[in-house]
Amino acid sequence: NAGVTQTPKFQVLKTGQSMTLQCAQDMNHNSMYWYRQDPGMGLRLIYYSASEGTTDKGEVPNGYNVSRLNKREFSLRLESAAPSQTSVYFCASSRYEQYFGPGTRLTVT
């Protein structure tokens, strides 16, 4: 099992550009999550999906959109990137405890 995979691993964007971060899990979990991690801030929840077809806002949803494409895949989209969105993004999935992907390091200049 690959667990939780994320693409890309690294990305540099210019302010105003858009991009989609991809996440997939092969553990047949219903719930999936997107977090961002900033120095000294821990992990903060952006959006989550309790099941296929449902999504809900987390603590810091502004500037992001998500799509739960199917049970396996949960994507995060930045429509117009801003320097404040420079961060490391983690996807996770869970049944009882959360399993994390390796992260995407995003820089917005």
Partner 1 sequence: AQSVTQPDIHITVSEGASLELRCNYSYGATPYLFWYVQSPGQGLQLLLKYFSGDTLVQGIKGFEAEFKRSQSSFNLRKPSVHWSDAAEYFCAVATTQGGSEKLVFGKGTKLTVNP
Among the listed residues 36, 90, 106, 108, the single contact to partner 1 using CB under 8 A: 90
Nearer to partner 1, 14 or 40 (CB): 40
Nearer to partner 1, 17 or 99 (CB): 99
Nearer to partner 1, 14 or 53 (CB): 53
Which 14-43 positions form the footprint of partner 1 (CB under 8 A)?
30-31, 33, 40-43
Residues with Cβ within 8 Å of 40's Cβ and at least 6 positions away in sequence, in order, are none
**CA pair distance 59, 63, nearest whole angstrom:** 12
Nearer to partner 1, 19 or 100 (CB): 100
Which 52-71 positions form the footprint of partner 1 (CB under 8 A)?
54, 56, 58
Among the listed residues 21, 23, 36, 49, the single contact to partner 1 using CB under 8 A: 49
Closest CA to 101 of 29, 41, 52: 29
Binding site for partner 1 (CB under 8 A): 4, 30-31, 33, 40-45, 48-51, 54, 56, 58, 90, 92, 94, 96-103
